[in-house]
Structure 1
Amino acid sequence: MTQIQPDKGLEWLSVSELSEYLPTHPVEHTIYCWTSNKQIPFHKKGKRIMFLKSEIDEWMQDNKSRSRAEIMNEAIAYVQSTRKVI
């Protein structure tokens, strides 16, 4: 992989490198759709889209699938918090 190493020593990935890095190996078109929909953290310099590896790692951890029980508990909490008291 060819990473851009700025002065701060951060590890950067291109779209093709990100495709190789992610466990599902999405096609580049999918990654471009994610950036277009602001679903994935990215940085744009001119026309070039780059990804900070540390942000991608955090994004993958934050985007775990929730269980039905977790979704149900969130729904109940939301309904209870928005319920009007008469």
Structure 2
Amino acid sequence: MEELMNDKWISIDEAAEYLGIKTVTLRSWIRNGKEGLPAQKIGKQWKFKISELDEWVKSGKSAND
């Protein structure tokens, strides 16, 4: 069941909160093409999967400038 929750799509606001950053920072990362950021545009909304965000953070790419 936990794995199912990690595969749920979340909004940009929820993703920013999950990562402990401001939404404006996450939008900036998307706009600037931050390496490996697992963001998907669905319609006009940016969506994220928690499992993919976790993998991205674990990979160390989130620390790259």
Establish whether TM, by shorter chain, passes 0.5: yes
Aligned length: 56
Which runs of no fewer than 5 residues in structure 2 stay unpaired? none
Q: Which residue of 2 aligns with 1:33?
A: 28
Which of structure 1's runs of 4+ aligned residues deviate more than 4 A?
Answer: none
SS of match in other structure, 1:57: helix
* 1:47 aligned onto 2:12: no
RMSD (CA atoms): 2.1
Larger helix proportion, structure 1 or 2?
2
TM-score normalised by length of structure 1: 0.56
Larger RCO, structures 1/2 (Cα 8 Å, 6+ apart) = 2
Does the CA-based 8 Å contact 1:35-1:41 persist in structure 2? no
TM-score normalised by length of structure 2: 0.71
Which runs of no fewer than 5 residues in structure 1 stay unpaired? 66-86
- Give the drift of 1:60: 0.3
The residue correspondences of 1:44-83 to structure 2 (distance < 5 A) are 44-63=41-60
* d(CA) in 2 for partners of 1:46, 1:21: 22
Larger strand proportion, structure 1 or 2?
2
Q: Report sequence identity in percent.
A: 36
